[in-house]
Structure 1
Amino acid sequence: MWKMLIRVALASILSLSITLPAFAQGTVARAQFTTDVIDREPIDNVGATVTVEYGAIQRVYFFTDLRDMAGSHVIHRWKLDGEEQAGVDFDIGGDRWRVWSSKRLMPGFDGKWSVEVVQDDVVVSTYSFDYIDEF
């Protein structure tokens, strides 16, 4: 009887280890572009388009609330029209971790901006906005 219970228990444990991936990918619970982050929270949502007066400089922040990524390495990869402009690295220390990065958008940087959230070299999600320099 005990041998049978031990076999069933071992078989259950082995089947769980086979069906689970090597690491469980977390989620991006919230993400948004904002003009600032105060007390680990974005103060507003800039939306899908950022418009500035010609020649002005605009700082845009990208805020993410990450879940179940403890122990992972995450990157905010900033791109302009598909070409990488910057990467900001984070080591995630808990099951809920809020991180943000920012980019100073200079005159002439208009176009489609995107930020990829990369967890352990895998793109988890991508967010974007249009940057328009008004004349």
Structure 2
Amino acid sequence: MLRTIVKLVVLSSVLLTLPMPSWAASIARAQFTNDVIEREPIDKIGPTIQVQYGGIQKVYFYTDLRDMSGDQVVHRWTLDGDVMAEIPFNIGGDRWRVWSSKRLLPGFDGTWAVDIVQNGSVIESHSFEYID
């Protein structure tokens, strides 16, 4: 029993000394919101957005990034897998908050996603259904 505990302690200490992947602590928050005020999202939109006729709906994607200073991150907006927009951000500090938005019109219904891309690799993805 003592031998097993010692093995677990040694294994734990080895794992704690391994370097974390670059993406592990990089995204503190990522969410869809109706607006961003004073660099903070005002709410969190759920997984479904209903089409509203008679106007344009605007959806924001907010990302709070950590320890990525000097890198570039892209918000890649897709609709049913087709790229609709790519918005690049140059990260200028250890904590950097960025957001992008998309105007949703009737007829743009389907699965919307935003991929957070760093150095050509998707490090996180979020999606919602825009339904009529």
Question: Percent same amino acid at aligned positions?
Answer: 61
Give the letter for the 2:71 counterpart.
S
**Partner residue, 2:101:** 102
Q: TM-score scaled to structure 2, two decimals?
A: 0.80
**Partner residue, 1:24:** 22
- Structure-2 separation of matches of 1:54 and 1:62: 22
**Partner residue, 1:11:** none
State whether structure 2 residue 74 is matched by structure 1 residue 75: yes
Contact in 2 for aligned 1:114/1:129 (Cα 8 Å): yes
Give the letter for the 2:117 counterpart.
V
Task: Quote the offset at 1:24 in angstroms.
Answer: 3.4
Map 1:28-107 onto structure 2 (within 5 A): 28-107=27-106
Q: TM-score scaled to structure 1, two decimals?
A: 0.78
Question: Structure 1 unaligned runs (5+)?
Answer: 1-18
User: Helix, strand or coil for the counterpart of 1:69?
Assistant: coil
The count of corresponding residues between Structure 1 and Structure 2 is 114
Map 1:94-133 onto structure 2 (within 5 A): 94-133=93-132
Give the letter for the 1:50 counterpart.
I
- Structure-1 separation of matches of 2:78 and 2:52: 22
Map 1:8-23 onto structure 2 (within 5 A): none
Task: Quote the offset at 1:53 in angstroms.
Answer: 2.4
Give the letter for the 2:87 counterpart.
V
Q: Deviations over 1:54-79 (max 9, x none)?
A: 35321000000011111101000000
Task: Quote the offset at 1:20 in angstroms.
Answer: 6.4
Contact in 1 for aligned 2:74/2:118 (Cα 8 Å): yes
Task: Quote the offset at 1:106 in angstroms.
Answer: 1.0
- Structure-1 separation of matches of 2:19 and 2:26: 17
Contact in 1 for aligned 2:57/2:103 (Cα 8 Å): yes
Give the letter for the 1:28 counterpart.
I
Task: Quote the offset at 1:31 in angstroms.
Answer: 0.7
Contact in 2 for aligned 1:55/1:106 (Cα 8 Å): no
Give the letter for the 2:22 counterpart.
A
